[in-house]
Amino acid sequence: MAFQRHLGHEEADFEKPVIGICNTYSEVNRCHSHLKPIVEAIKQGVIMAGGTPLEFPTISLGEMFTSPTTMLYRNLAAMDTEEMITAQPIDGVVLIGGCDKVLPAQLMGAASANKPAIAFTGGPMNNGKYKGQTLGACSDCRFFWQEYKAGTVSEEEIKNINAQLAPTAGHCMVMGSASTIAACAEALGMMLPGACAAPATVNERMCLARETGKAIVQMVENNIRPSDIMTRGAFENAVRTLMAVGGSTNAVIHLIAIARRLGIKLTLEDFERLSRTTPFIANIRPAGQYQMEDLYHAGGIPAVLKELSPLLNLGERTVNGKTIGENLSRIEVDEVYRDIIRPIEEPLHPEGGIAVLRGNLAPNGAIMKPKAAIDKTLLKHRGKAVVFTSISDMEKRVNDPNLEVNRDNVLVLQNAGPIGAPGMPEAGMIPIPNKLLKQGVRDMVRLSDCRMSGTAFGTVVLHASPEAAVGGAIALIKDGDWIELDVEKRSLELLISEAEMEKRRKEWNPPQFSDYQRGYGWLFRQHVLQADEGCDFDFLRPELETIFG
Ligand code: FES
């Protein structure tokens, strides 16, 4: 206690619930640069509810400036969060995330620590504007860069667009990974209703921050822990929400990882089953037309959940002590906003936004977003492979004028998975070769064992598992092989005989890595699990065999 006096604390303060505020403010993470006043509002709420707030830092992962990829460090952030929650004398914790990997890491850590915890984010940016057109980071970063390379947008215009792409504080304002995981956290019951979509700049975000501070004190007093909230039923609600909002493929990996920290075996089969039975209703980019600011005005995730309510497990508990059903009882979806949140009887598409593919190229699964395909005819496609053996090989050759490639080819990227790259970078939206862009091509079938940004788009097959670096079938593809994708049938096949496949398997040699020979990167490669298992470290799982049976 003597050591806390310099902060103005008295003995009596520590007889109250002590609430850790896990602050991920960082000037190197622009999506978190505005968190200071939000933290103050959370502290106010804690004090108003009779608790004592103590702010502490953990790793902050910004997509823009973390090399080679934030996913390499998600598990490190999860370990940091778990250990700090466990080691410090706090009774409960507020997790403040925002940029893509931070909230998933925090939920993984909080699940393992299992002290009362509530999530909050800095909120999405407001819409950008350019010549009357709405801009969204980073879907439009990619879209306009592609157009610039195709020669349809000038250098001057690119500069002007760039200045408006990220106009306010907050995380990316389309349904990218940050917004998706926040939507899932709200559906899981780990965030207060409405906390996902309120933009970083609106007064409601500050009010929600204060209410979050109040709620965590109540959670401590009622001993409500992550394991009470994040049940199998709650994960099913989160997966249905992911499907209904056409959210990021990254959320598949994160939700599996979070669930497994609690001994819940969430599988790709669960995603496929729930996708088949959940309509896509939230018309948000990149799979739809609007952005998070519009979703906020339309009622945010509570309005989406209200529409989905016939499909949800309404008895699941949430951080405000009420069930999802109780939280939704007074929610109405305003008819004015029906183009943003469709009724489930009149969805944008009768099925969810993510499809799980199987076949000899991905025996343990691969995923894609059919709604994000620009050329829908590619959803059933047979084409010859053009193979890149690594990200650097792709960067070297994809725009080589001598590369033999046409619009019907399937672009394949190998050795970019969890172990191969390592960290499974967001390189899956393989660039359309410049010479094809100039011919007007804007989409091709692309296949890899890596991820893509939640803000990206195209006919892009991702997370092929097992990955190439461990000898998965994607490693066996050669230039000129025929590949067949049939999204309706959920199949992904390399059209060679089983005997030829076996021959290539015998001839395959594991890659010899010269990078990451020490330290965290080395540890990552030794222990990371495959995409279909959530890319967590094997040693961070609970004793799965005993829990899963
Ligand atoms: Fe942080 Fe997009 S860069 S959410």
Instruction: Provide the strand spans (E) within 399-481.
Output: 410-413, 445-448, 460-461
30 C-beta closer than 6 A to ligand 1: no
172 C-beta closer than 6 A to ligand 1: yes
Pocket test for ligand 1, best of 33, 171, 426 (most atoms within 8 A of CB): 171
Nearest partner of 424 among 464, 475, 386, 478, judged by Cα: 464
Ligand 1: atom nearest CA of 455 is 2
C-beta neighbour count of 249 within 10 angstroms:
26
| pLDDT at residue 141 in the model | 87
φ/ψ (deg, to 5) at 395: -60, -35
Say how far apart CA 64 and CA 52 lie, in whole Å.
35
Counting every residue written for the chain, the total comes to 549
Alpha carbon of 205 to ligand 1 centroid (Å)? 18
Ligand 1: atom nearest CA of 30 is 1
Pocket test for ligand 1, best of 65, 73, 99, 139 (most atoms within 8 A of CB): 99
Alpha carbon of 74 to ligand 1 centroid (Å)? 14
In the numeric block, which tokens belong to residue 250? 């990254």
E strand or H helix that includes residue 128: strand 128-130
Whether 451 and 250 have beta carbons less than 8 Å apart is answered as yes
| pLDDT at residue 545 in the model | 45
Atom 3 of ligand 1, nearest CA residue: 63
Whether 193 and 208 have beta carbons less than 8 Å apart is answered as no
Secondary structure percentages of the chain, helix, strand, coil, to 5: 40, 15, 45
């931070």: which residue's tokens? 102
Say how far apart CA 285 and CA 456 lie, in whole Å.
10
Alpha carbon of 247 to ligand 1 centroid (Å)? 14
- Which long-range CB contacts under 8 A does 140-145 form with residues at least 24 apart? 140/165, 141/165, 141/455, 142/429, 142/453, 142/455, 142/456, 142/457, 143/457
Say how far apart CA 532 and CA 366 lie, in whole Å.
8
């979070």: which residue's tokens? 258
Per residue of the chain (549 residues), give pLDDT as tens. 678 888 889 889 999 999 999 999 999 999 999 999 999 999 999 999 999 999 999 999 999 999 999 999 999 999 999 999 999 999 999 999 999 999 999 999 999 999 999 999 999 999 999 999 999 998 888 889 889 988 999 999 999 999 999 999 999 999 999 999 999 999 999 999 999 999 999 999 999 999 999 999 999 999 999 999 999 999 999 999 999 999 999 999 999 999 999 999 999 999 999 999 999 999 999 989 999 999 999 999 999 999 999 999 999 999 999 999 999 999 999 999 999 999 999 999 999 989 999 999 999 999 999 988 899 999 999 999 999 999 999 999 999 999 999 999 999 999 999 999 999 999 999 999 999 999 999 999 999 999 998 888 899 999 999 999 999 999 999 999 999 999 999 999 999 999 999 999 999 999 999 999 999 999 999 999 999 999 999 999 886 544 554
For residue 388, the one-letter residue type is F
